[in-house]
Amino acid sequence: MLRRTSVFALFALLLLGPAAAQDAVPTTVVVRAVSNDAKLVQDPVGGAHITIAHAETGEVLAEGRQTGDSGSTDKIMRQAHERGASIYEAPGAAKYEALLQLAGPTPVKITARGPLDYPQAQQTASKTMLLMPGADVTGEGVTLTLHGFIVEVLAPNSRTAAPGTSLDVRARVQMMCGCPTEPGGLWDSNRYAIRAQLLRDGAVVAEAPLSYAGTTSEYDGTIAVPEGGATHLRVTAQDAGRVNMGMATTVLTED
């Protein structure tokens, strides 16, 4: 009878899988989405959407929004970093914290998408790793780097582009964390190529550089509308040396 019971118990464990053989253990995981060459993706730009999924099955184990501020400018951007030094951990610094229930070693894929308030600027970053039950990932956490710029077209407001006229273009260019850009600043726009382009049928028909407008993160210039007209205005920003690119496009009319 004892042998029969043991065989039945073994069969039940095989049927129910490894989770039945080991209780799930609460495990904390902190994730931080970081703007490349800048700071944490913060609340004023919408934060970032974080997903933690099982790397093999695709099952979403946790998801939510990174919230908080951009972190310490001194620690992230100015101070030299020794191995093991805290860079992103600070009171109020942006993060996403999940409490997972892990029954065994679990391969996961962690993904960040943001900044959430700027759809045209959104980028994603992900990495895979193994999590262990009870091995909390806190402090700096798992960091994911988003490359690019937030680019916004501020003018022309009328969105009209009559052939043979000129458009006064103004744009805002920020880091993905919402951090400001300006010539000679911590995020030095002297490094950037910022241009306005007119498009028709998907092809560039005219372009002109934009220069610092005297207001933090804003750049302006004038672009001539060719006789054939244009259907879209696109503003691009690039810093190839630090692998950041961004753009924004708006529809134009000829009325």
In this model, does residue 18 exceed pLDDT 50? no
pLDDT band at 8 (very low <50, low <70, confident <90, very high): very low
In this model, does residue 14 exceed pLDDT 70? no
In a shared domain, residues 92 and 118:
yes
Mean pLDDT, the chain, integer? 91
Residue among 104, 241, 94 nearest 176 (CA): 94
Q: What is the mean pLDDT of residues 175-200?
A: 97
**Cα separation, 102 vs 14, whole angstroms:** 18
DSSP secondary structure letters along 46-107: T-EEEEEEETTT--EEEEEEEBSB---HIIIIIS---TT--SS--TTB-BEEEEEEESS-EE
Tell how strand 137-146 and strand 25-35 pair up: parallel
- Flag whether 1 is in a domain: no
> Percent of the chain beyond pLDDT 90?
84
Which CATH number does the domain housing residue 124 bear?
Answer: 2.60.40
Read off the pTM.
0.87
- E-strand spans in 147-229? 149-155, 166-175, 193-200, 203-209, 211-212, 218-224
Domain interval for residue 40:
23-146
Predicted confidence (pLDDT) per residue in 200-239, tens digit: 999 999 999 999 999 999 999 999 999 988 999 999 999 9
In this model, does residue 13 exceed pLDDT 50? no
Domain boundary among 146, 172, 188: 146
- Flag whether 3 is in a domain: no
pLDDT band at 255 (very low <50, low <70, confident <90, very high): low
Predicted confidence (pLDDT) per residue in 105-163, tens digit: 999 999 999 999 999 999 999 999 999 999 999 999 999 999 999 999 999 977 778 88
In a shared domain, residues 30 and 104:
yes
